[in-house]
Structure 1
Amino acid sequence: MMLTILNLSKQYEEKVTFIEVDDMNKRFTWKFTKYIFIFLTITLILASAGIGLFLTNIVKLAYNDLNTADDFYMEMSISKEDNGYNLSNDLKQKLKENNVQLYIIDNQGNALYPKKHKNIKNKLIDNIYNTTTIPFKNDHLSVALIYPQKYKHNLNNKENIDITKLINSLYINNYNAYQHIEKNNQMMFIENPAHQKVVYTTEFTEIENNTFKFLAISYLLLLLLNIILVIMFAFIISRRISKPLFFYNDWIENLSKGKLFKPSSKHYNKRTKKLFKELNASVEKLNLQLTEDKIYQNQINYYREKWLSQISHDLKSPLTSIYGYARLLSSETIDTKKYAILISDKASYMTELIDSLNKNFKQETDQMNVHKEAFNVSETLNQLIKSIQYNKFEINNHLSSKEFYGNKLYFERMMMNLIDNSIDHNKQNPKIQITIQNQEDGLIVDYKDDGKGINKTAEKNMLHSNFTTKDNKEGHGIGCTIIMDCISFHNGTFKILPTKKGVHFRILLK
């Protein structure tokens, strides 16, 4: 019944953890997506502003010289208002730079712009070779551009010249139906065989409408595709960044529960450690510090229990004497002074004994790094495994003698670093098998795991001081040093034995 309750509790805990991680992932993805959408919105606003600026300046960019101006340019640069016509700043600038006069006239030469002028027929005749006209709005209106005079001529038939034909003959781009010629100081007009009729329209053609529709649909599809891609990339990137964080969250949660080892995760790799370099270093340092504190605490507990055992044993005899003498004092037939002195001596002895034991306890704990004593190897190993709460252990105990004369702290730290190396260098936590047995000249520890193993270079160099296979070499390599310090302290040996999978170390401590 109790086992069933424990299993249900464990399943509930795993389910709650999964829900918490899933919620965290959703929050992270939503937050990342929100920022991506803000970025996209700003980008679209800037792009729209850029397109708007481009469209408003497209005429200026396309017509960089007044000589290239045509009917489209005039349509875009001249606007009709209630009080007349208004020229764009770009057109005004071009007219000023080229010292050109602009008139908006009807087909009879009457000036609609500027208003101070009336009919400019004579002006057009006098400047016929430095004037161009551009169709404007309809067949009755034109824009006349009069450049600085470069040619002089005398005509005898100014009064008889057809002003409509004259204006038409000055059209650009073969819009002129007539061409003017001078002969005997008289102006005549002939038909232009290459004449092209000007098409005026206030609506877009079907082709233009279809083009605009195509562009609009294409823009919307591209916008929709962009939004879909943003969502996809936000999801992918958030997952890539957040999943390693879940690993570190699980690791810290393990440490908070007293599980002093790194959890299994396929997301913990070189890329993760490089991306979260500072976080990884901090958690590893925390794990190492908690492990060392746990080992130290175990050692202190060991010496405390030893001290309590000693003090209870050593105080038992004087306390028995004091108890007996006190019983004798209750009898009136004895010499009380004699036994009172004995009780005082025993109490004084107890005080000295406690002071001596306290001093010995302090010396032992201060010198426990270099102190040798007999300790129970099996209990020490089981206590260490219980401390780190790692659940993939197989302990094979073949000890004929439970106790080993050596340094308990060195032994604990060596085993802890072997276990830590196995967990740290494998994405998935490996199964660890430890076999301990006695030998005539010492203690043999066979250490195996089923992880990815070590390469030849690591095998060759791992016995060297400060060797490490970790990416961040600063502060690492200490584990191998501690292992070798323990072996050296016990005048032992370290061998790497061949195995199909993982590692197999054989350590002899003497």
Structure 2
Amino acid sequence: MMLTILNLFRQYEEKVTFIEVDDMNKRFTWKFTKYIFIFLTITLILASIGIGLFFTNISKLAYNDLNTTDDFYMDIAISKEDNGYELNDDLKQKLKENNVQLYIIDNQGNALYPKKNKNIKNKLIDNIYNTRTIPFKNDHLSVALIYPQKYKHNLNNKENIDINKLINSLYINNYNAYQHIEKNNKMMFIENPAHQKVVYTNEFTEIENNTFKFLAISYLLLLLLNIILVIMFALIISRRISKPLFFYNDWIENLSKGKLFKPSSKHYNKRTKKLFKELNASVEKLNLQLTEDKIYQNQINYYREKWLSQISHDLKSPLTSIYGYARLLSSETIDTKKYALLISDKASYMTELIDSLNKNFKQETDQMNVHKEAFNVSETLAQLIKSIQYNKFEINNHLSSKEFYGNKLYFERMMMNLIDNSIDHNKQNPKIQITIQNQEDGLIVDYKDDGKGINKTTEKNMLHSNFTTKDNKEGHGIGCTIIMDCISFHNGTFKILPTKKGVHFRILLK
């Protein structure tokens, strides 16, 4: 029943963890999507403002002189208002600089701008050689630009001149269907063989309409493609950044539960450690510090139990004497002064004993790094594994003698460093096998894991105390000062044995 409850609790915990990870991934995706959409929106706004400014100022950029203006310019520069027509500032400036008069007229010469119902037929005839007309909006309207008069001529048929043909003959860019000529003081019109039909902005050809449709559809498709790419980009980036963070989240969660090792993850690689360099270094340092504190605490607990055992034994005898003397004092037939002095002596002895034991305890804990004592190897390993809470262990105990005379703290730290390296240098947490056995001159530890193993360079250099394969090379790594210090302290040896998979170290401690 209890096992079933524990399994259900584990399933619930895994489900909660999966939901938390999924929620974190969604938050990252939403954040990236939001920020990229904001960026895209700002880009589109700025692009629209830029395009608007471009088309607003295109008349200034492309038409720097009044003589180069055409129907496109006039469509931009002249706007239709409720009370008539309005010229923009650029056109007004050009007219002022060139001292040119501008009229908007119909095909009969009637002015619509600047004053309505005024016919300028005679003015056009008088200024025929210093006037340009430009088609405007439709076939019935034109813009007439009359420059300062430079030519004089006398015509005898002013009344008979066709004003519509006259206006047409003054068109620019071969838009004129007629050409005017003077002969015998009379004006006549002939057809222009190079005549080109005027295409107004609201009268595009079928090809032009199809082109505009294609451009509009292309723009919408491009916008849709950008949105899709934004979402895909947000998903990819959020997953690339958030998945390694899940690993660090699991690692910190392990540490909070007392599991002093990093979890298995395919996202823990060189790229992850490089991207989250500071975070990786901090969590590694935290893991190492917690491990060292745990080992130190175990050692302190060991000496505390030893101290309590010793003090309870040493205090038992004087306490028994005090109890006996107190019983005697309760009798009226004895000399109370004598036994009171004995009790006082025993109490003083107990005070001195406690002070001495405290002093010895302090000396022992201060010297626990460098002294030797007999300790139970299998119990020490079991306690270490319990402290780490790593569940992929196989311990083979072939000891003929349970106790080994050596430094317990060095032994614990050496084993902890070996285990930490196996976990740290493999993406998936490996299975670790530790075999311990006695030898005539010491203790043999066979350490194996089924991880990725070590290369020739590492194998060659790992016996050097300062060598490390970690990116963070600040006093910890695989060869390891701690391992070699322990072996040197015990006058032992370290061998790398061949294996098909992972590593196989044989350590002899004397």
Q: Provide TM-score, normalisation by structure 2.
A: 0.91
Deviations 1:156-207 (A, max 9, x none): 6656655443332211222223222344555443332333444668566655
Shift of 1:378: 1.3
Seen in structure 2, the aligned counterparts of structure 1 residues 367 and 7 have a Cα distance that, compared at 3 Å, is same
Seen in structure 2, the aligned counterparts of structure 1 residues 306 and 214 have a Cα distance that, compared at 3 Å, is same
Seen in structure 2, the aligned counterparts of structure 1 residues 75 and 41 have a Cα distance that, compared at 3 Å, is closer
Shift of 1:450: 0.9
Deviations 1:367-413 (A, max 9, x none): 21112211111111111111111101111111122111211111111
Does the 8 Å contact 1:103/1:114 carry over to 2? yes
Does the 8 Å contact 2:421/2:478 carry over to 1? no
Does the 8 Å contact 1:466/1:478 carry over to 2? no
Seen in structure 2, the aligned counterparts of structure 1 residues 121 and 299 have a Cα distance that, compared at 3 Å, is same
Does the 8 Å contact 2:421/2:477 carry over to 1? no
Q: Which stretch has the larger CA shift, 325-334 or 355-364?
A: 325-334
Q: Which stretch has the larger CA shift, 25-34 or 112-121?
A: 112-121
Shift of 1:451: 0.9
Report the 3-state secondary structure (helix = DSSP H, G, I; strand = E; otherwise coil) of the residue aligned with 1:508: strand
Alpha-carbon distance between aligned partners in 1 of 2:142 and 2:204, rounded to the nearest angstrom: 22
Seen in structure 2, the aligned counterparts of structure 1 residues 277 and 197 have a Cα distance that, compared at 3 Å, is closer
Seen in structure 2, the aligned counterparts of structure 1 residues 337 and 87 have a Cα distance that, compared at 3 Å, is closer
Shift of 1:85: 2.2
Deviations 1:291-339 (A, max 9, x none): 1111111011000001011111222222333334444445556555444
Alpha-carbon distance between aligned partners in 1 of 2:230 and 2:387, rounded to the nearest angstrom: 47
Alpha-carbon distance between aligned partners in 1 of 2:146 and 2:407, rounded to the nearest angstrom: 110
Deviations 1:72-103 (A, max 9, x none): 33233222334332212232233334443322
How many residues are matched?
A: 510
Shift of 1:498: 1.5
Report the 3-state secondary structure (helix = DSSP H, G, I; strand = E; otherwise coil) of the residue aligned with 1:504: strand
Deviations 1:257-289 (A, max 9, x none): 111111111111111112112211111111111
Partner of 2:464: 464
Identity %: 96
Report the 3-state secondary structure (helix = DSSP H, G, I; strand = E; otherwise coil) of the residue aligned with 2:370: coil
Report the 3-state secondary structure (helix = DSSP H, G, I; strand = E; otherwise coil) of the residue aligned with 2:86: strand
Does the 8 Å contact 2:442/2:508 carry over to 1? yes
- Structure 2: stretches of 5+ with no match in the other structure: none
Seen in structure 2, the aligned counterparts of structure 1 residues 244 and 105 have a Cα distance that, compared at 3 Å, is same
Shift of 1:113: 2.6
Shift of 1:50: 3.3
- Structure 1: stretches of 5+ with no match in the other structure: none
Seen in structure 2, the aligned counterparts of structure 1 residues 250 and 499 have a Cα distance that, compared at 3 Å, is same
Q: Output the aligned Cα RMSD.
A: 2.8
Q: Which stretch has the larger CA shift, 470-479 or 447-456?
A: 470-479
Seen in structure 2, the aligned counterparts of structure 1 residues 117 and 476 have a Cα distance that, compared at 3 Å, is farther
Seen in structure 2, the aligned counterparts of structure 1 residues 367 and 478 have a Cα distance that, compared at 3 Å, is farther
Shift of 1:18: 1.9
Does the 8 Å contact 1:465/1:477 carry over to 2? no
Report the 3-state secondary structure (helix = DSSP H, G, I; strand = E; otherwise coil) of the residue aligned with 2:317: helix
Shift of 1:483: 1.3
Q: Which stretch has the larger CA shift, 311-320 or 492-501?
A: 311-320
Does the 8 Å contact 1:447/1:506 carry over to 2? yes
Deviations 1:453-506 (A, max 9, x none): 111111222222322111232454497111111111112222222211111111
Partner of 1:80: 80
Alpha-carbon distance between aligned partners in 2 of 1:401 and 1:502, rounded to the nearest angstrom: 30
Q: Which stretch has the larger CA shift, 302-311 or 274-283?
A: 274-283
Q: Provide TM-score, normalisation by structure 1.
A: 0.91
